[in-house]
């Protein structure tokens, strides 16, 4: 499981991963184009044109997974690469990893950036107990109901609640959070992690309401609510 950068202008391939990746010529990837670009920029010891790629993403059918493992059953190693960040965590890869476990194939995680953990590290929110909830419901009434439920858990149990949103809906989600959440609830907004334009700030909702909003349009963001 090979992480790749989540922001522009940061290191492409950690040195600790290079020897492992250089030894692999078969890759299961979320997107072939982005994977080829990542490996090409990483300075592999062989031309990218000599590598074999198969795609595994939200369009992959269940019956297509097992044939992807046939080279592994024949003794080859494979690397899984998602488009950004850590495969299998809020990204494709978990189904392949699960099938590997059922088939007796060892799954090895390599070191790399996770926007979820990076945001939590920088937030000042509770890192001992937290939950990543993925995407909230799209429809406003259901989204508001979910926000109140997760806020209740954050305030009652002290468990940090993390969310993501489609980048073009970030600003709308932030406004709804500032409308629905209690003034004393602490809210973290973490944007463009590992990029030169990185922005991470935690404030009570009341203070967020009284300050200019950050520009979130089409920028990858993590939101955290806590007490």
Note whether 188 and 201 are within 8 A (CB): yes
By the 10 Å C-beta count (0-12 exposed, 13-18 middle, 19+ buried), 24 is classed as middle
Structure tokens belonging to residue 165: 């949103």
Task: For 168-190, write each residue's pLDDT tens digit.
Answer: 999 999 999 999 999 999 999 99
pLDDT in tens, 128-144: 999 999 999 999 999 99
φ, ψ dihedrals at 224, nearest 5°: -135, 135
Residues near 18 by Cβ (< 8 Å), separated by ≥ 6? 42
Q: What's the CA gap between 219 and 106, in Å, rounded?
A: 35
Q: Is the dihedral of CA 5, 169, 31, 54 positive or negative?
A: positive
- At residue 222 the predicted structure's pLDDT band, cuts being 50, 70 and 90, is very high
Structure tokens, 89: 């965590």
Element (H, E) at 221: strand 221-226
Radius of gyration of the chain from its Cα atoms, rounded to whole angstroms: 20
Compare 155 and 8 and report the one with higher pLDDT: 155
- The pLDDT score that the predictor gives to residue 10 is 58
Q: Mean pLDDT, to the nearest integer, of 81-101?
A: 94
CA dist list (Å): 6 to 11, 81, 176, 208:
10, 12, 26, 26
């Amino acid at each position: 499981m090979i992480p790749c950068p989540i922001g522009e202008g940061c290191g492409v391939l950690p040195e600790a991963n290079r020897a492992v990746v250089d030894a692999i010529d078969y890759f299961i990837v979320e997107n072939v184009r982005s994977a080829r670009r990542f490996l090409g920029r990483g300075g592999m010891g062989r031309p990218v044109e000599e590598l074999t790629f198969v795609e595994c993403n939200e369009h992959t059918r269940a019956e297509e997974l097992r044939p992807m493992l046939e080279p592994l059953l024949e003794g080859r190693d494979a690397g899984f690469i998602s488009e950004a960040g850590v495969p299998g965590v809020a990204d494709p890869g978990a189904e392949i990893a699960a099938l590997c476990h059922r088939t007796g194939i060892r799954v090895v995680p390599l070191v790399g950036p996770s926007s979820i953990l990076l945001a939590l590290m920088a937030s000042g929110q509770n890192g001992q107990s937290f939950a990543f909830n993925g995407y909230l419901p799209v429809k406003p009434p259901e989204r508001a109901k979910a926000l109140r439920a997760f806020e209740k858990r954050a305030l009652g149990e002290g468990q940090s609640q993390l969310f993501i949103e489609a980048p073009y809906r970030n600003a709308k989600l932030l406004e709804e959070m500032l409308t629905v959440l209690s003034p004393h609830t602490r809210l973290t907004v973490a944007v463009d992690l590992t990029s030169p334009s990185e922005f991470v700030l935690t404030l009570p909702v009341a203070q967020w309401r009284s300050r200019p909003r950050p520009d979130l349009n089409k920028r990858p963001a993590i939101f955290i609510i806590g007490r």
